[in-house]
Amino acid sequence: MGNQTFAAHMLEREARSWRDLTSAEYDRAICGMLDNIDRTPDPADRSNALMVLASSSLQRRNPSLIESRARFAEQLLASITTDGDSKHGRVYLLILLAWLHLGTVAAQGPASISRVPDLPPGAALPYGADATAIADPLLREQARVLAQSHAVAVERWNAKQRAIEHLSRIAALVRAVQLDFNQEQEALRELQLAMSLAPGLPPSLRKLLENDSS
């Protein structure tokens, strides 16, 4: 399969997945496509398909697409040392785009969450008890709304932790890349500095990227 044909096939699959699948299914589908690309023996096929798929998928706006964002960043980083340098500038932009998506998820997550939902004032139940046991229907409805809000907060908290874990791994991978020429290494340091400016980064990770790029 020629590199243009394979890349076009990946682009078609991505568009169909975005149209037909839920967010979670789409995220898994993209990771599966990246697995297929990674196993492709022809370097040109692999490089072109990765660039095409990343360019399309990273334009999708959905905060729940965490795993595929991280996979894009990792495989694009790996391509820096295996492909020619003609595409490095575009690769760096796509890595930064994937990084910013993850940073936004981290920034939008709550700073902390309670272990159980709050109860409305006036509801007397043991800590952690099922709010459906509240006898008063008005208080019970208020408790249900609070429980729903808590569930959303928990989901955002979990997404934040996953994003931060991926950000830390990607930062370590960026810092480990060694290129042959000083000009290329300088461009990589500039990428790290740009990454350090992303929202949502833990202070320690931001400082690590800033110091390593100085």
**DSSP character string of 89-109:** HHHHHHHHHHHHHHHHHHHHS
Confidence of residue 88 (pLDDT cuts 50, 70, 90): confident
Distance CA 91, CA 168 (A): 19
What pLDDT sits at residue 146? 84
Give the domain ranges of the chain: 63-212
Distance CA 211, CA 203 (A): 12
What pLDDT sits at residue 114? 85
Cβ proximity of 105 and 160 under 8 Å: yes
- Summarize pLDDT for 186-198 with one digit per residue, the tens: 888 999 999 999 9
**Pick the residue with more confidence: 164 or 146?**
164
pLDDT of 2 higher than 80: no
Distance CA 190, CA 52 (A): 24
| Short-list 205, 114, 120, CA closest to 167 | 205
What pLDDT sits at residue 193? 94
* Residue-wise burial string across 32-46, b where 16 or more C-beta atoms lie within 10 A, e elsewhere: ebbeebeebeeeebb
pLDDT of 1 higher than 70: no
Confidence of residue 125 (pLDDT cuts 50, 70, 90): low
pLDDT of 87 higher than 70: no
